[in-house]
Structure 1
Amino acid sequence: MSVPAENLPETTASPASDTPALPSGWLEVTSMDLDAQGVARRPDGKVVFIDGALPTELVSARTGRKKNNWEQAQLTEIHRESSLRVRPLCPHFGLHEGACGGCKMQHLDASAQVAVKQRVLEDNLWHLGKVRPETVLRPIEGPAWGYRWRARLSMRYVAKKGSVLVGFHERKSRYIADMQTCKILPPHVDALLMPLRGLIAGMDAQGTCPQIEVACGDRVTALVLRHLEPLSEHDLARLRAFAALHGVQWWLQPKGPDTVHLLQEGGEQLAYDLPDFGITMPFKPTDFTQVNPHINRVLVARALRLLDVHSDERVIDWFCGLGNFTLPLATRAREVLGIEGSEALVARSRENYARNQAQRPAGQALAATSFVARNLFEMTPPLLMADGSADKWLVDPPREGAFALAKALADIHQARTGAPEALPLPPGFEGWAPPRRIVYVSCSPSTLARDAGLLVHQAGYRCVAAGVVNMFPHTAHVESMAVFERP
C-alpha cells in the first residue's frame, strides 16, 4: 500500500510555516489512543481518530462520524508505512466487513504494543492525576498467542447459512464473526471452535443457546453452556459424548450465574496453581479469575516483591476475590485480612484458605487470615479504621477503581493535618495508622490515575513506581501496577 516518492501528488507550502504541507487529504498519524486508533490532525487543528492507522504513517482515511473538535475515520490507504506494522496472524483480524472485533492491535509489533500501553498509563497518570512515578517499572510480558484461558463465546444459529456461529462479535457490530480459528485462545480451545459449531447445530436447542463461557484451569478445561430452555435427553447425550471425545468438562447455566452446575459430577476440580507460593486455587468457571495465567503468576510474584511483606506485618488485601493475592500474602505476613464485596466470593476464599492450609508442609503454615464482605464502593473513614491498622495494603479493584477507599484515606490524612474544611474523625481511633506502602493493581489507567491523584495530593503518599502489565496482548486493554509510599 506504500506509494513511490515519484508518484506523490504536488503540494503547496503552508504560508504560516516553512514545513511543506501534506498532499490534499493526507494525514500524518502522530500517536495511538486507548482504543488503538491512530491519532492525526487536520491543517485546521481538528483531531482525527483513524481505525487501522499506526504512528508515523501517512494515510488517507474516510470520515465517518463528525463532531466540532474531532472526527472518526477509517483507513483507506497507506502512503508511508510504519516500520512497526506487521502481518496479523489471525485471518479474521482487519477492517473488512465481518472482521472479528476481539483484537485491535494485531497489525502492530507486539513490543510496540507494550510501549503504546506504557505511554497511555503515563499520560493518564499525569493528565488526570497530575502524578509522575519516580520509577517506571519494566513491563510484565508473556506469550503473545494462546494466552486467553478465559473467554465468553457468543453463539447463534443462522438459518440462511444453515449453521451455527461460535465466536466473538464483529468489529462495532452485534453480529457474531464467522470465525474458524482464534489464535489468542489456547490451541486446544481454538481446535474446538469448529467441533462446537457441529455440536450445537445438531442439538434440539440449537436456537436457544446464546453463549459458551470458556474457563481453563491448569488441568481442566470447563465449558459453560447458557441455555434458555431445558435441554432434551438427546442434547444432554450429545454434550456427554462431546466431553468424552474432547476431554472437556461441561457446566450448564439455565438462568443466572448462581444456577451454574456440572453436567456430570466427579472428575478433577477446576483450579490453577501459584507454584512460587505452593498455592492451588480452585474456582468455578463463572468466578472472576485472570484471563492470562502466565501473566498472573508473574503479577502476583512482583506485587509481593514490591510490597516487601515481612513476617511481623499485618496486610490488608482489598477487593480480594478468590484470594489470588491473599493466600500468597499469607505465606509471608504475620496476619492477613481479605476484604471483598461478594459474600459468595468471601465464602470461596475461606474454603480456598482452609484447603491450602490443610495441604501445607509441616512448619510452613499460612498466616492467620480472615475474610469479610463489605461494599468497598461506600467506604468511609470510620469504616476504614474499623478494620484496624495494617502495615501494607494490596489493592486490586475492578474497572471502577478504588475511589471510595482512596477518598477515605485522604479524608483521614486531611483531618489529621488540620486541612481547611476537613471533617473531624470519630473518637477512639487515635491510634489508627495508615499503611506505609500500597501496591495498586489496576485494569483501568484512568481510574488508577484518579485514585493516584487522591493518594499523592491529599493522602500524603508518593508514587514511587508504576508500569504496565500486558495481560491482553493485541487488544487495547491496559493493566498496570503502581506503588505508593508514605514518608
Structure 2
Amino acid sequence: MANLFKPSKTNTVVRPKDANKTLQITGIDHLARGISNDEKGIYFVQGALPDETVEANVQQHKGNVHHAQVTHIIQPSEARRQPFCAHYAECGGCETQHCDSEDLLRFKQQAIGQLILHTGIQANEPVVIKKAKLGARRNIKPKARTIASLQKELPWQPPLNSVDRHYRHKTRLAIDARNPHDIHLGFRTRGSSDVFNLTQCPILVPELQALIAPLHTLVNSISQPLRIGHITLVKSNNKTLVSIRLVKALSKEDQLAITDFAQQQNVAVEIQTQTGHHNVGEEDSLLTYSPIDSIELQFQPDDFVQVNAKVNQQMVAQAIDWLALDKDDKVLDLFCGIGNFSVPIAQHCAQVIGIEGVSKMVQRATKNAQNNGLPHCQFRHSDLTDPAWIRTLANEKVTKVLLDPSREGAKEAIKLLPSLNPSHILYVSCNPSTFARDAAILLEQNFRIDKIGLMDMFPQTAHTELMALFVPSNTKSS
C-alpha cells in the first residue's frame, strides 16, 4: 500500500478562498496523480491527466504541497476515455479508467523514470559495503549524489501488459451486514472504509464475475450474516474456489445454505475460522497455477500469488531471459514466496536457493519443487531484514540473484548483495518509491541498470510494477 501524505493538525486547514482552483496539468507522478505548479506551490491532483485544464478542490495542504481532487474537466486530454465500469465513481479500485491504457503506461514510465533518476541516497545514512571476503566490511558515508549523476538515462524495455478487462483471477469481497435489511457485499468505496454493493466487476475473469449475483443471494439468505468477515474468490487451473472467512461459527441452517450454493454454482467452498479451515464437499482446497507452461505450482487461497496470470507468465519468462541463465549458474532468489520464480528458473541452471521469511511459504515452495521434479531447487526460512542470512551463503558461490520484495523494498538485503559478487541482480518491484531508494544503493556500489521495464500487473489502476537488471559497471551492455 502506498504511503499517502497524512496532514498534520496544525498546518493543513484549507481556507475557503483556496479550496477551488483552476489548474494546468503538466504531468503525472508515480501514483498517477496529475501535477500542477503555481506561485503557491505544487498540486497533486487525483483524476487529472497531462495537458489538461481542470477545476480541482484542494482538500488538504502542508506548506507548499497541495492535494486536490478534480471536480470539472475544462480542457480534456486526448488520452481521456469514458470509464467502462458502472462502479467507477464509487469504487476504490480501478481509479485510472479515465485514461487510455497505452497512454497511461507511457505517462507512468515518464513519471517513474523521473522518480528513479532523481532519488538520492541520504547523506547521513552510511551504506554497508562488503569486501570480497564475507564478514569483513566497512562503513562508507556516501556522497549526496542522485542516480542521475551515476547513470544518465534509463535503458527502458517494452512494458509487459495484458488486456484491461477480465484479467483478475483472485479478489476479496468485503461485507457490511450491520443492517440486516440492507446488506452490502462488494469493495470499499474510494477514500472510505464503507462497502458499496457490487453488481459487476469487468476486471474479474468471467468465472468470478458470474458469482457476484449468487453471492448476494447467499448472504441475504443467511440468518447470521454478521458472522461473515469477508469472502475470497479464486479461479485457478484446477478449480474455482469461494473462501468464506467466519468470525463466529454459523448455524446448521446457514451451513446447509452454503453447501447448496456450492452445488448450484459448481464451485469449491472453503470455510475459514480462527482455528483453521475446512472444505465443503472436498478433501482439500489446494489450487494450482502455471507461471510457465511446463510448471504447475500449488497454493492455498490465503497464499500470495499474482492475480494477473498473463502478465505473471510474461514476467517469469522475462526474468529467465534477462538473467541469461546457463547450466552452471547458481541462482539466489530472495523473498521467493511459494516458488513463482525459483521453480521455473531451476529448469535452466545448476541450483536455485530460495530464501523466504514466512515459514509456511518455504514449506509450500519446497513441495512445489519436489512436485515438479527439481531437487536442486531448495528453500530456506530466514529474516531478510537481519544481516545474518548472508552468512549462510558463505560457501555457496552464487552467480546470479533475483529478488521480489514486498512494497517495503529490500534496503537491508540490497546493501549485502554486492559481497556475493553476482554477475546479475534482477530486482522485481511493486513499489517504484522503494525501488528508487534501493537502486541508489546498488549504483553507489558500482552497479548499473542494464535493463528496466514496467509490468502492468493491475491495468487501469495507479499501481505499477517494474523489473530492472543490475550488472557490474564494467560489464558490457547486453
* Residues 1:389 and 1:90: Cα distance change in structure 2 (over 3 Å): same
2:306 to 290, 296, 299: 290
- Give the drift of 1:127: 1.6
* Residues 1:387 and 1:394: Cα distance change in structure 2 (over 3 Å): farther
Superposed counterparts of 1:324-363, under 5 Å:
324-357=340-373
- Aligned structure 1 segments of 4 or more residues deviating by more than 6 angstroms: none
Distance (whole Å) between structure 2 residues aligned to residue 54 and residue 477 of structure 1: 16
TM-score, normalising length from structure 2? 0.85
Q: Give the conservation status (yes or no) of the 8 Å contact 2:26–2:51.
A: yes
2:26 to 23, 30, 38: 30
SS at match of 1:331: helix
Distance (whole Å) between structure 1 residues aligned to residue 224 and residue 84 of structure 2: 34
One-letter identity of the residue aligned with 1:182: C
2:172 to 135, 138, 152: 152
1:247 to 259, 263, 266: 266
1:113 to 101, 104, 119: 104
- Give the drift of 1:48: 1.9
Superposed counterparts of 1:291-440, under 5 Å:
291-357=307-373, 366=374, 368-380=376-388, 383=391, 385-386=393-394, 388-409=396-417, 412=419, 433-440=420-427
Distance (whole Å) between structure 2 residues aligned to residue 171 and residue 115 of structure 1: 25
What's 1:21 paired with?
none
- Give the drift of 1:265: 2.5
SS at match of 1:252: strand
1:77 to 60, 65, 72: 72
One-letter identity of the residue aligned with 1:124: L
- More displaced stretch, 54-63 vs 126-135: 126-135
- Give the drift of 1:339: 0.9
One-letter identity of the residue aligned with 2:25: V
* Residues 1:387 and 1:243: Cα distance change in structure 2 (over 3 Å): farther
- Give the drift of 1:271: 0.4
* Residues 1:233 and 1:116: Cα distance change in structure 2 (over 3 Å): same
Q: Aligned Cα RMSD in Å? A: 1.9
Q: Give the conservation status (yes or no) of the 8 Å contact 2:34–2:45.
A: yes
Distance (whole Å) between structure 2 residues aligned to residue 340 and residue 157 of structure 1: 38
One-letter identity of the residue aligned with 2:49: L
* Residues 1:66 and 1:449: Cα distance change in structure 2 (over 3 Å): closer
Distance (whole Å) between structure 2 residues aligned to residue 46 and residue 92 of structure 1: 33
- Give the drift of 1:384: 5.9
Distance (whole Å) between structure 1 residues aligned to residue 32 and residue 186 of structure 2: 21
Distance (whole Å) between structure 2 residues aligned to residue 484 and residue 34 of structure 1: 21
What's 2:92 paired with?
101
Deviations 1:304-342 (A, max 9, x none): 000011011111111111011111111100111111111
- More displaced stretch, 433-442 vs 262-271: 262-271
One-letter identity of the residue aligned with 1:320: C
One-letter identity of the residue aligned with 1:439: L
- More displaced stretch, 184-193 vs 370-379: 184-193
The answer to whether 1:263 aligns with 2:280 is yes
Distance (whole Å) between structure 2 residues aligned to residue 280 and residue 438 of structure 1: 25
The answer to whether 1:171 aligns with 2:190 is yes
* Residues 1:381 and 1:262: Cα distance change in structure 2 (over 3 Å): closer
Distance (whole Å) between structure 1 residues aligned to residue 376 and residue 158 of structure 2: 33
One-letter identity of the residue aligned with 1:388: E
* Residues 1:66 and 1:269: Cα distance change in structure 2 (over 3 Å): closer
* Residues 1:387 and 1:195: Cα distance change in structure 2 (over 3 Å): farther
Distance (whole Å) between structure 1 residues aligned to residue 322 and residue 463 of structure 2: 23
Distance (whole Å) between structure 1 residues aligned to residue 24 and residue 269 of structure 2: 51
The answer to whether 1:446 aligns with 2:441 is no
Superposed counterparts of 1:209-288, under 5 Å:
209-255=228-274, 259-266=276-283, 269-276=286-293, 278-288=294-304
Deviations 1:208-232 (A, max 9, x none): 2121112221231222111111122
What's 1:196 paired with?
215
SS at match of 1:324: coil
User: Unpaired runs of 5+ in structure 2?
Assistant: 1-19, 121-145
* Residues 1:485 and 1:270: Cα distance change in structure 2 (over 3 Å): same
- Give the drift of 1:45: 4.2
User: Unpaired runs of 5+ in structure 1?
Assistant: 1-23, 358-365, 413-432
Distance (whole Å) between structure 2 residues aligned to residue 398 and residue 155 of structure 1: 27
Deviations 1:66-116 (A, max 9, x none): 32212222222222111110000001112xxxx111111000001112112
1:125 to 103, 116, 127: 116
Identity %: 33
What's 2:466 paired with?
480
The answer to whether 1:464 aligns with 2:450 is yes
- Give the drift of 1:205: 2.3
Q: Give the conservation status (yes or no) of the 8 Å contact 2:21–2:58.
A: no
- More displaced stretch, 204-213 vs 327-336: 204-213
SS at match of 1:286: coil
One-letter identity of the residue aligned with 1:400: E
One-letter identity of the residue aligned with 1:241: D
Deviations 1:210-265 (A, max 9, x none): 21112221231222111111122111111111111112211111127xx2332332
TM-score, normalising length from structure 1? 0.83
SS at match of 2:26: strand
Q: How many residues align?
A: 425
One-letter identity of the residue aligned with 1:232: S
One-letter identity of the residue aligned with 2:171: A
- Give the drift of 1:195: 1.5
- Give the drift of 1:485: 0.8
- Give the drift of 1:287: 0.5
Distance (whole Å) between structure 2 residues aligned to residue 226 and residue 267 of structure 1: 16
- Give the drift of 1:35: 3.1
Q: Give the conservation status (yes or no) of the 8 Å contact 2:30–2:115.
A: no
Distance (whole Å) between structure 1 residues aligned to residue 79 and residue 267 of structure 2: 39
Deviations 1:6-64 (A, max 9, x none): xxxxxxxxxxxxxxxxxx9421011122333222123x142222222211111112222
